[in-house]
């Protein structure tokens, strides 16, 4: 019996071997964040729009925490905007957004963004509502 860690490592390896065209099948465009720097804060001013496009309005916390962790800072959501403590360029933020979408939003099987995140025990699963594919994410 393989451990949970081995299982996740195998999934990760499998994902790495996926050809790039898996992601290109879909005409879905990863949204670009509008970034506004104010003092020592960086705002994503179209946060609400991004969540809507990604179908993550009820799971905005997951994306907010992901960004905060990648930039080693904290985030707060405020009236449809996200505030990150610190100064970050639009390029940096959009690069992380893209990484997040590929890992947590796009389906690895059909490339569509019609997915939901669900918990199975301690493992986070990405479930595709378009093709039914299920896969663990980290």
Interacting residues with Zn ion (CB under 5 A): 107, 109-110, 128, 130-131, 133
Q: Which is nearer to Zn ion, 70 or 103 (CB)?
A: 103
Q: Which is nearer to Zn ion, 46 or 111 (CB)?
A: 111
Q: Which is nearer to Zn ion, 26 or 45 (CB)?
A: 26
Q: Which is nearer to Zn ion, 92 or 130 (CB)?
A: 130
Shortest distance (Å) from residue 60 CB to Zn ion: 22
Find all residues with CB under 8 Å of 1, minimum gap 6, and list them. none
How far, in Å, CA of 67 to CA of 84, rounded?
8
How far, in Å, CA of 117 to CA of 58, rounded?
10
Is residue 131 within 8 Å of 116, Cβ to Cβ? no
Own/partner long-range contacts of 22-25 (Cβ < 8 Å, ≥24 apart): 22/108, 22/111, 23/102, 23/106, 23/111, 24/111, 25/110, 25/111
Shortest distance (Å) from residue 112 CB to Zn ion: 5
Shortest distance (Å) from residue 25 CB to Zn ion: 10
Shortest distance (Å) from residue 116 CB to Zn ion: 11
């Amino acid at each position: 019996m393989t451990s949970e860690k081995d299982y996740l490592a195998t999934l990760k390896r499998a994902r790495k071997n996926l050809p790039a065209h898996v992601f290109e099948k879909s005409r879905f465009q990863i949204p670009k964040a509008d970034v506004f720097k104010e003092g020592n804060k960086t705002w994503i001013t179209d946060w609400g729009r991004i969540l809507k496009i990604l179908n993550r309005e009820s799971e905005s916390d997951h994306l907010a925490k992901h960004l905060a962790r990648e930039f080693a800072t904290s985030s707060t959501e405020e009236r449809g905007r996200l505030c990150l403590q610190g100064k970050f360029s639009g390029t940096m933020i959009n690069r992380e957004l893209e990484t997040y979408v590929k890992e947590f939003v796009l389906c690895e099987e059909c490339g569509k963004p019609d997915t939901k995140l669900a918990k199975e025990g301690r493992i986070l699963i990405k479930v595709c509502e378009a093709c039914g594919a299920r896969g663990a994410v980290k």
